[in-house]
Chains A and B, each alone.
Chain A
C-alpha cells in the first residue's frame, strides 16, 4: 500500500521557468512533510519541510504548499536552474521517527 505517491515519474522544464512537483498521500495521520533532492549515487539532501498546521512554507527559490483537505502537497521551484536536475522525493511523517517516501520524480531542467 503506497501511502505517499508521486504520480509523475519525470518532468522537463526550461531554465528560468517554474517547476512544480506534486505529491499525494492517503494517511490522515501524517502531520509533517518534507522534500528531498537526490543526485545519482548520493544520499538525499533535505530541501524544505512543512508542518500540517501551515499551508505554505518558503525558502529562497523553493516553496512547499500543503492542501490538507485534498491530501496533496507540491514543491515549486522558481526560477528553475540546470543544477536543479535531480530526483525529488516527498516524504511524510506521523511521528515515531518514521518517514514514508514517495516514489520520486525526475526533474530535468533544460537550457
Chain B
C-alpha cells in the first residue's frame, strides 16, 4: 500500500480565513513533506518533517504553519493567505533512509 490521503480535495478561502489542510499515511513512513505546485510548474518543497520534527523549512512565509501531531498525520495551517498562494498543495511521505517519496492527490486551494 503506497497511499497518502489528503483532505479536503478542494478549498476556497478568503484572505481573512483560517483553514487547515490534512494529510495521512499508514505506510510507517517517518518523513513527511509539504509541497506547493503552481500550474505548469514543478512541485516546490515547503517543509520536511523527520520523526515528527521539523527538519526543513524552505523559507516559507509564516502564514503557512505546519504541524505533525504523530507519525501518520501532517497538517498545514493557513492564515491570512494571499491570492498568489492559490495552488495545488501536495503532501508526500518516505521511509527513513530512502529518497523515494510517495505523494497524495493534493488539495486545490483557491484564495479569494
Contact = CB atoms under 8 A, between A and B. Distances in A.
Contact of A32 (B4, B42, B91, B99): B99
Chain A interface size, under 10 / 10 to 19 / 20 to 34 / 35 or more? 20 to 34
Contacts, number: 55
A28 interface: no
A103 B103 CA distance: 17
A44 B6 CA distance: 13
A98 B42 contact: no
B99 A46 contact: no
A74 B51 CA distance: 33
A31 B88 CA distance: 28
Given A97-B56, A104-B42, A41 B108 contact: yes
B72 interface: no
Interface string A5-35: 0000000000000000000000000001010
A95 B99 contact: yes
Given A34-B99, A36-B103, A44-B43, 16 more contacts: A43-B4, A43-B6, A43-B91, A43-B104, A43-B105, A43-B106, A44-B90, A45-B103, A46-B100, A46-B103, A93-B99, A97-B33, A97-B56, A98-B45, A98-B56, A102-B42
